[in-house]
Amino acid sequence: MPKNVDSGGSMHMTGSRSLLNDYYAEKKGFVSFGNDAKGYIIGKGHVSNGDLRFDDVNHVENLKYNLLSVSQMCDKGRISLFTKQDCRILSSEVLPLIGKVLDEYTLLKANRVGRVYALDLSKKINVKGHPCLFSKASPKESHLWHRRLGHVNLKNMNQLVQHGLVRGLPVKDFKCDENCAACLKGKQHKVSFPPIEDPKSTACLQMLHMDLFGPVRIMSLANKKYCLVIVDDYSRFVWTFFLHSKDEAAKYIINFVVYAENQYSLPVKCVRSDNGTEFRNHILDEFYLSKGIKRQYSIPRTPEQNGVVERKNRTLIESARSMIADSGLPLTFWAEAVNTACYVQNRVLVNQTLLKTPYEVLHHLAPLISFFRAFGCPCYILNTKDQLQRFDSKVDAGYFVGYSSTCKAYRVFNCRTKIVEETLHVKFNESPKDPIPQNPVEMFDLNILQYVPYQPPAESAILADNASTAAKGNSQGSTDDDDDVSTHLFRFSDTLPRSVKPDAPLASVVPPTTNADEILDSSTSFDIPTDLFPASSSTSITTESPSNTCTDLIPYQELKDHPLSQVIGDIHVGVSTRSQLSNFCLYALFVSQHEPKNYHVALRDNGWVEAMQLELLQFKKQQVWELVPLPQGKCAIGTKWVFRNKTDENGQIIKNKARLVVQGFSQEEGIDYDETFAPVARLEAIRLFLAYVALHKLKVFQMDVKSAFLYGKIKEEVYVCQPPGFEDNKHPDWVYKLDKALYGLKQAPRAWYDTLSTFLLQNNFTRGSIDKTLFIKKVGQHKLLVQIYVDDIIFASSDPKLCNDFTELMKKKFQMSAIGELQFFLGLQIKQSTHGIFIHQSKYTKDLLKKFTL
């Protein structure tokens, strides 16, 4: 006797007279069905099945099914539970057990009307649960909103819908079958440290976490290199500011604290940061003391103690990196990307403790995000400024780069004017058929982008509150990319360039038709405004020359002065300072991961263009050549660019290196060169050197000479062609006459060895009688040992002063880099400790495993 449980039925009914007990005939109206058919009630009785009894079961004429009404069972105190596998009729005794969690897990509620349960879809229904109750978003729609929301994870997007935390986001279940390629490029990272319990704040602004990352190798559109990040501990709301230099941080912090306390009527009670001088100085000490603000500093080499803002730095950089990778915009837009990432994350990331967005916690209002657009998407900007002719185009092509901080408008890059402007009159194409090429140098003309004359906002607009909707209004000027991207995206009249001198040459990405020498003498000066910072009324900004030292490699340091019980992670793994970690993180963000095949490909990537510029800068500094017409009867040797990624001892890419080499295979002996032999240290000699210093418990250091071959003087008359991509506009047929050696020349290694050995011998070194690459200097009872391998030098001494003196001696004569303790040399990874020297080749092993996919 099967019976169907009918949630839409108004009463129990059956078409079988034999099932009814205590039956009595009764004509009592009819039952309506979905096809407008009617079944007349001709009797009533009850149905029994063991201990279960159903009363008031109606006998309906010609009904083919037995139906049990859910509402009628509920009238008897029963509870119906429907699952994927079955339907259960529960006793009313279970109600007290589930009543405590009933409201918490209720997704949808239909009110009872008469004997049926009706859901009124004409009214707006707020579903704080799984949106899949209604519909699922397609993979294309899910990916589009994923891009609009700054590549936030899908779990976070579904949380926004489930808890009704934002307005404007479709009520759907967002899922994507494939991983986002941009997220993989931007967010892949190592496993995090275990969390450490820490007292939590109970209100906004009770504690502020602060940190500074930079310098970024590629300046922003307004020539900013640093980013100040401030995080509220309670709400996790973030403010970001972009700086020219670290010493501006104190002014931004003071003005921010005054602004925040005034706007939110809450006091700042504690500030946590690292021990950098930008956060620990007498200016801030006096300010904190006057405000009664407690200061907390993390101990050296322990960034985990300031983990809130350290993790936020990573989140912002990863999001910005993903958006840049997805959009294909040049890295010059990194500040705009960080701006947008912070603006979006304040409105979409969920505070896991409060289950609200940072925006809602701070402003007590759910943010509206329906106006969000995918960063870098193409757009069409209505031209409302120029006097257009009747049939001129009304729009300019551009790209979306963020949201305005001073008015209700979008920030867009105009491809025609080469400026970032703010406007509401714009149409977006978030699914272009032809995506933007990666790093489109020709499209964006970065020479102009580096020196866009931004106009700072009026003082009244500096502290303006930026509403979360994009409303009408068109900005009269463009704003700088140092805007804070929170809801209160304000800026304190920082040092933005008001004007650019017309005679100032540009020193950015060089088009292929630019002379190699012209890019080396550029300098630009700006007039700096003074609003809230009158201390420096004007300043001059010039292009910086490379330093004599470089900290590309992160030196290894052992953990010291910490109880082993308090050390998190492997105690044998080296730790690094905050500055080294920040540099390493930024190299990972902006250093190109791919080696171009030729210079045509390299010119499309800012990192490789800068590498070529630095190589030519070395030529000019060392006075390697001069541009001359090719003498009659002489032949010029060809040149080519070679591109390599330099890695550290762990195989991480830390630098893009471009080398201009001579095609030495075309040289003729006796004409272009004579002697070519130059001694090179054998691997056995290196091992003996390390064994000797380990026996005497000495510390080994290393250094590298930048562009070493450029120091070697040549005797022969050699002419080379101009470097590809950097030909002289006025004299494209001229050639360079070499005064010093270039890489690729057959005599270059010998010329460099003669230069270095002569210099060392002149400074009281003696050359080894057997190994000509070993140089020894005796001072009293102490010795200084120097082993050279082309341009790589390792040295050790029983007197640390001799090592310091040797370092200074080399720096005065040559440009040096990678000065520090020996870690990686000729493919050997070297670890020094008080117990001796350990040599291994784990990097080489990993490379072999990767090569053969093992």
CATH match for 4-118 among 1.10.3470, 2.60.40, 2.40.70, 1.10.357: 2.40.70
Per-residue pLDDT of 756-769, as tens digits, reads 999 999 998 999 88
pLDDT band at 494 (very low <50, low <70, confident <90, very high): very low
Closest CA to 411 of 426, 397, 400, 427: 400
Mean pLDDT of 377-398: 80
Strands 639-647 and 653-662: antiparallel
pLDDT digits (tens, 9 = 90+) for 54-92: 788 888 887 777 888 888 778 777 777 777 778 877 777
pLDDT in tens, 595-647: 887 878 888 787 888 888 888 888 888 888 889 998 888 888 889 898 888 77
Residue 498, pLDDT score = 32
Summarised one tens digit per residue, pLDDT across range 785-835 is 999 888 889 999 988 889 989 988 998 888 887 678 888 888 788 888 888
Distances (CA, A) of 348 to 126, 237, 351, 412: 18, 11, 9, 22
Q: Could you report the per-residue pLDDT of 724-755, keeping only the tens digit for each?
A: 888 888 888 899 988 888 888 888 888 888 88
CA distance 210 to 225: 17
pLDDT of residue 289: 93
Rounded alpha-carbon distances, angstroms, from residue 800 to 350, 428, 803, 835: 54, 63, 5, 19
Q: Looking at the predicted structure, is the pLDDT value of residue 557 above 70?
A: no
**Helices 334-348 & 154-162 angle (0-180, nearest 10):** 40
What's the token pair of residue 791? Answer: 């341009």
pLDDT category at 340 given cuts 50, 70, 90 is: very high
**Is residue 458 pLDDT above 80, yes or no?**
no
How much is the mean pLDDT over the chain? Answer: 75
Of 221-225, 289-293, 476-480, minimum mean pLDDT range = 476-480
Predicted pLDDT at 124: 52
Q: Average pLDDT for residues 109-117, to the nearest whole number?
A: 72
pLDDT of residue 389 exceeding 80: no
Quote the pLDDT of residue 476.
Answer: 36
Grade residue 574 by pLDDT with cuts at 50, 70 and 90. low
C-beta of residue 476 within 8 angstroms of C-beta of residue 458: no
- Dihedrals φ, ψ of 659, to 5°? -125, 125
pLDDT, residue 814, reads 87
> Whole-angstrom Cα distance, residue 160 to residue 346?
13
- Tell me: cis bond preceding 2? Omega within 30 of 0 counts: no
Q: Which residue has the higher pLDDT, 223 or 433?
A: 223
Q: How far, in whole angstroms, is CA 435 from its chain's centroid?
A: 21
Q: What pLDDT does 556 receive?
A: 41
Question: Averaged over 440-444, what is the pLDDT?
Answer: 43
CA 286, 290, 291: angle at the middle one, nearest 5? 120
* CA angle in degrees (0–180, nearest 5) for 238-244-249: 50
DSSP 742-774: -TT-TTHHHHHHHHHHHHHHHTT-EE-SS-TTE
pLDDT for 275 equals 87
Instruction: Identify the pLDDT of residue 99.
Output: 64
Helix (H) or strand (E) holding 160: helix 154-162
Specify the DSSP class assigned to residue 456: P
Q: Which of 112-126, 166-180, 346-360, 538-552 has the lowest mean pLDDT?
A: 538-552
Indicate the pTM of the whole model. Answer: 0.40
The amino acid at 361: V
3-state secondary structure of 578: helix
Distance from C-alpha of 338 to C-alpha of 325, rounded to nearest angstrom: 13
pLDDT at 441: 41
* Per-residue pLDDT, 352: 84
Mean pLDDT lowest among 109-123, 227-241, 295-309: 109-123
Higher pLDDT residue, 115 or 350? 350
Predicted pLDDT of residue 8: 67
CA terminus-to-terminus distance, the chain: 64
Identify the pLDDT of residue 375: 92
pLDDT above 50 (res 394): yes
- DSSP, collapsed to helix, strand or coil, labels residue 359 as helix
Q: What pLDDT does residue 575 have? A: 60
Query: Residue 236's pLDDT band (boundaries 50, 70, 90)?
Result: very high
Does residue 270 surpass a pLDDT of 90? yes
Residue 9: pLDDT band (50, 70, 90) is confident
* Least reliable range by pLDDT among 551-560, 650-659, 826-835: 551-560
207-520 — its CATH code? 3.30.420.10
Q: Rounded to an integer, what distance in angstroms lies between the CA atom of residue 441 and that of residue 463? A: 35
Residue 238 has pLDDT above 90, yes or no: yes
What's residue 471's pLDDT? 37
Residue 351: the pLDDT is 86
Q: 43: which strand partners? A: 25, 59
pLDDT at 442 over 50: no
Q: Residues 197-204: what's their mean pLDDT?
A: 74
Look at residue 836 in the predicted model and tell me its pLDDT. 84
Residue boundaries of the structural domains of the chain: 4-118, 131-179, 207-520, 564-843
Residue 851: CA count within 13 A, CB half-sphere? 6
Per-residue model confidence (pLDDT) at position 509: 37
Q: Is 87 helix (H, G, I), strand (E, B) or coil?
A: strand
- What's the pLDDT band for 125 if we cut at 50, 70, 90? low
